[in-house]
Amino acid sequence: MKYTLSVLVENHPGVLSKVSGLFSRRGFNIDSLAVGITEDSNISRITIVADGDEYVIEQLEKQLNKVIPVIKVRTFRQDEFISRELSLIKVNCPAKQRLDIMKIAELMEARIVDVSLNTMTLQFADTLERFETLIDLLKPYGIREIVRTGTVAIEKDSAVSRKQ
- Binding interface with other proteins (CB under 8 A): 9-10, 13-14, 17-18, 21, 25, 55, 58-59, 62-63, 65-72
Nearer to other proteins among residue 68 and residue 107 (C-beta): 68
86 touches 149 (CB < 8 A): yes
76 touches 6 (CB < 8 A): yes
Distance (Å, whole) CA 42 – CA 27: 30
Nearer to other proteins among residue 22 and residue 125 (C-beta): 22
Nearer to other proteins among residue 72 and residue 111 (C-beta): 72
The helix (run of H) or strand (run of E) holding residue 124 is strand 119-126
CA of 82: how far to CAs of 109, 129, 157, in Å? Answer: 17, 13, 10
CA of 9: how far to CAs of 12, 75, 80, 117, in Å? Answer: 8, 15, 21, 45
Nearer to other proteins among residue 59 and residue 119 (C-beta): 59
